[in-house]
């Protein structure tokens, strides 16, 4: 699983459906991934207890210069500008097979289609 901002926001809001899914994936031995740019998009203070608990059980997706270039190329190909969404799609391509947990299906699908990536999505 790869968490987009919508998943982190759902965790912060204690969304019952997301919490059940997350716990189920952990029980199944899956470690969710979170791109650091996604965390930066959602993080506002150390008082975000729910979010802090969530990310403690997640693995960050490192981004190096090659991946940063891939994000930029994807943005040019898709003719869009959201670096965080593009970083999620580039991470998903790198981590294949992985499903993305998001509340932003249309933007992520647009980006994935721009590079011919079939992207499984779990809507939150």
Q: What was the pLDDT predicted at 109?
A: 97
**CATH architecture of the domain covering 2-123:** 3-Layer(aba) Sandwich (3.40)
Please choose, from the candidates 36, 41, 27, 49, the residue with its C-alpha nearest in 3D space to the C-alpha of residue 2: 36
Mean pLDDT by 10 residues, the chain (124 residues): 97 95 94 96 93 94 94 98 97 95 96 97 96
Q: What was the pLDDT predicted at 115?
A: 96
Q: What was the pLDDT predicted at 70?
A: 97
Where do the structural domains in the chain lie, given as residue ranges?
Answer: 2-123
Instruction: Residue 87: count other Cβ atoms within 10 Å of its Cβ.
Output: 25
What is the residue whose two structure tokens read 């203070």?
A: 45
Q: What was the pLDDT predicted at 62?
A: 85
Please choose, from the candidates 7, 3, 65, 69, the residue with its C-alpha nearest in 3D space to the C-alpha of residue 36: 3
Q: What was the pLDDT predicted at 46?
A: 87
């Amino acid at each position: 699983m790869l968490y987009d901002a919508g998943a982190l926001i759902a965790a912060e809001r204690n969304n019952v459906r997301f919490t059940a899914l997350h716990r189920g994936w952990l029980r199944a031995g899956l470690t969710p991934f979170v791109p650091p740019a996604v965390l930066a998009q959602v993080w506002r203070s150390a008082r975000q207890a729910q979010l802090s608990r969530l990310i403690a059980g997640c693995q960050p997706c490192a981004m190096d210069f090659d991946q940063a270039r891939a994000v930029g190329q994807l943005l040019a190909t898709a003719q869009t500008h959201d670096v965080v969404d593009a970083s999620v799609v580039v991470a998903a391509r790198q981590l294949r097979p992985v499903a993305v947990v998001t509340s932003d299906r249309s933007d992520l699908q647009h980006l994935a289609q721009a590079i011919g990536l079939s992207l499984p999505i779990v809507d939150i």
